[in-house]
Structure 1
């Protein structure tokens, strides 16, 4: 049952990402449609400001700026009977300069574009903000399912024996089991109303989980939760609670009463951190309650592959490392986890830490599909070309997957691979069957 919760949680976050990816280009296209009418006005004003400033501009550069300014002015004069006034207010903030740009909206056409730019920027911000809130709602749902799963198996851990109920309350239940379930629901509801730090404390104390994988990202996760709370309860305006709860490294440049926002980069990072943290929490609880379950490695492997395809190296590194340390992970799943773990370390720029291990590895006793992955990590193109036909002939994978495997990305960019595609009979066949390392026969 816990495996289904993990799969559903992962799919919920993937679905949320897909939704953002679907809507985001449309909103940005609408923004660009109107913004392009304002950019020449802003550019003209900024160049004028630059030329009037006391900056030490090289004569050559000043001439280029002047020519560009004249061209912009000519284009604007052809477009407007009277060029709208643009004001640039400059503020010094230590080493940094801040600019506030205001366009006089005396021209109805300019006014329309300004309104639409503001509206579309607001829509984009709402998309990201609401997606952040939605991601945390998915997390809360998943966390509640994990707690139900645990307390249903260990009701004594929920402390229900110490709770009291009135006779009137008991009459509303058909059995003692129903009353027990009700008390567990009350307990979980109380937990969910707590903050993230209290969740972690409970997971350690009552569920006896280690949670060592949270140490490096704990401050980030707290900031994500506190930022969500600001949007839900305070309109996104920073209050004293946010400043007291969030570590200073996560709130640089943020002061009381500042209005926070969410951009795409922040949203992507937040979802990645939440996805990694809570899938690992689910996996650790699963391992604690069902230590002999071999399917854990395979399910985590499927989740890893889906995220590898989208270059989410941080998530995949954590899940692969967990599978490698899980003694019940099937040997085949462990080899897959090892290869993918090395790939993640390489992609995040930490290849030096695993280079000796990769060079020392001997996969000669393993299936060719795994040898292929090892050679790809080492960048041994000749060995890949030698073994690739064997992998395809024995149906260990097919052309579709060869074209998709993240680990073969560098190899696919080589001239040798392009020649292989032109000359190989495999690319002349229309193979439909898809076989991946995840479903290699487990001996």
Structure 2
């Protein structure tokens, strides 16, 4: 049996949270002009049509003519709605991230029981005789028990779900998992947003304290938690890391004979992160990869080590890259690893000799030279292009990886709007803020009527 189900489940989840991650900046970019226009129109109206007065009690009020009240209300509603969208959409997408994780866990549990059906022997789910008769087959009865078991697990807290998994497969999943505290905090924040509109409760503090989560000391019960862009990105990265580590730990535990596919899949995940320049996640998962107790063979472990060093190298952390490389003696390795070592240690003349030795039909082919991030820097060297031409009898050209749609949209917006180049966008006064600071009076006549 192979880990095909685990593989499919993991990549389905990663694809889904990638789509959510990309949706947020695209949506915010599209909202910005709408938000700006709504606020500008409202502020322009206030400037030209509204008079500010100060009453005897010192409170400031604004005076709107009665025949302009409808315009005022419409513009205020437009400005308020656009401002709310900028708050609600990130929070909704954040909640969707956690929902995708819950769906991932559901599929993961089902895969575990299908890979090791004997694990159901410890289940406390019972069937009546009449239910068993209705099932008609053992397979149907098993599926019914699995559904009941999964439903019970999903009703538990996220921490209790890990307790269940650890007991089920007999392994400590939270060891060497520093992202655990982040995971607990984001799931607790999700609960607040779904059930309490983000208002902090005593339960939030209690659960965060129990799991040693880092929480802003200035926060108190009654404060509201939102989803700033940096926090959203951190939540995405946390769930990405958790899903990969959880899937591969279970894969290696339940299917020790399938290490080849497990190593290949994990390397594929890491390689895509390097290509996307997602170095933070890449660093974490590559270390996770080469620190596994068992690999299919040394070649797979070497790939993790080389790519871990490459990730540091591409971030201009050459000393850290060298330290990773020095954990192994590469002199007896295959030529492709020797080439990687020579490139990463910037021994280019040695690298060109190895390239010629490998030739046009070796472990490194022409697509590797064009796609592998290993050659990102050396490909700018004239001699590299000359060596490539001698080997393959063609001019060297980089194979450009298509950008994600969100990258293209952001690049387009930056070109057309210089303001987006700044790290922060100047905040425009919102209608909500104006309403909080001032009491609105349609006119003096209406005001006097209300007093009566």
Q: One fold, TM greater than 0.5?
A: yes
Task: Give ranges in structure 1 of 5+ residues lacking alignment.
Answer: 43-75, 87-101, 435-443
Tell me the CA shift for residue 291 of structure 1: 0.7
Q: Answer whether contact 1:368 1:391 (CA < 8 A) is retained.
A: yes
Higher alpha-carbon deviation: 27-36 or 143-152: 27-36
For residues 171-223 of structure 1, the C-alpha deviation after alignment (integer angstroms, 9 at most, x for no partner) is 32113443233223211211111112112212222211232555311111000
Partners of 2:202 and 2:174 lie apart in 1 by: 29
Partners of 1:35 and 1:427 lie apart in 2 by: 52
Matches within 5 A, 1:175-194: 175-194=137-156
Q: 1:140 aligns with which of 96, 102, 107?
A: 102
Q: 1:217 aligns with which of 179, 183, 188?
A: 179
Hey, what does 2:305 align to over in structure 1?
338
Hey, what does 2:26 align to over in structure 1?
25
Alignment partner of 1:363: what SS? coil
Partners of 2:176 and 2:330 lie apart in 1 by: 33
Determine whether 1:195 maps to 2:157: yes
Partners of 1:237 and 1:3 lie apart in 2 by: 42
Count of matched residue positions in the alignment of Structure 1 and Structure 2: 381
Q: Answer whether contact 1:411 1:417 (CA < 8 A) is retained.
A: yes
Determine whether 1:258 maps to 2:223: yes
Hey, what does 1:274 align to over in structure 2?
239
Q: 1:233 aligns with which of 195, 211, 222?
A: 195
Hey, what does 2:381 align to over in structure 1?
417
Partners of 1:18 and 1:291 lie apart in 2 by: 32
CA-based RMSD: 4.3
Q: Answer whether contact 1:283 1:296 (CA < 8 A) is retained.
A: yes
Hey, what does 2:430 align to over in structure 1?
none
Hey, what does 2:263 align to over in structure 1?
297
Partners of 1:162 and 1:331 lie apart in 2 by: 43
Tell me the CA shift for residue 336 of structure 1: 1.0
Q: Answer whether contact 2:385 2:396 (CA < 8 A) is retained.
A: no
Hey, what does 2:420 align to over in structure 1?
none
Q: Answer whether contact 1:144 1:188 (CA < 8 A) is retained.
A: yes
Partners of 1:82 and 1:130 lie apart in 2 by: 37
Partners of 2:327 and 2:365 lie apart in 1 by: 28
Determine whether 1:286 maps to 2:251: yes
Q: 1:327 aligns with which of 294, 309, 314?
A: 294
Q: Answer whether contact 1:5 1:142 (CA < 8 A) is retained.
A: no
Tell me the CA shift for residue 278 of structure 1: 2.1
Partners of 1:275 and 1:340 lie apart in 2 by: 19
Q: Answer whether contact 2:263 2:300 (CA < 8 A) is retained.
A: yes
Q: Answer whether contact 2:308 2:321 (CA < 8 A) is retained.
A: no
Tell me the CA shift for residue 249 of structure 1: 1.6
Partners of 2:373 and 2:83 lie apart in 1 by: 34
If the length of structure 2 is used for normalisation, what is the TM-score?
A: 0.69
**Shift in alpha-carbon separation, 1:323–1:422, aligned structure 2, 3 A:** closer
**Shift in alpha-carbon separation, 1:132–1:245, aligned structure 2, 3 A:** same
Higher alpha-carbon deviation: 151-160 or 123-132: 151-160
Partners of 1:116 and 1:392 lie apart in 2 by: 65
Q: 1:315 aligns with which of 281, 287, 292?
A: 281
Determine whether 1:130 maps to 2:92: yes
Q: Answer whether contact 2:35 2:83 (CA < 8 A) is retained.
A: no
Q: Answer whether contact 1:297 1:333 (CA < 8 A) is retained.
A: yes
**Shift in alpha-carbon separation, 1:332–1:322, aligned structure 2, 3 A:** same
Tell me the CA shift for residue 393 of structure 1: 3.6
Partners of 1:400 and 1:83 lie apart in 2 by: 66
Partners of 1:399 and 1:22 lie apart in 2 by: 35
Partners of 1:343 and 1:374 lie apart in 2 by: 9
Hey, what does 2:7 align to over in structure 1?
6
For residues 335-372 of structure 1, the C-alpha deviation after alignment (integer angstroms, 9 at most, x for no partner) is 11111222345567976566345247443444443333
If the length of structure 1 is used for normalisation, what is the TM-score?
A: 0.70
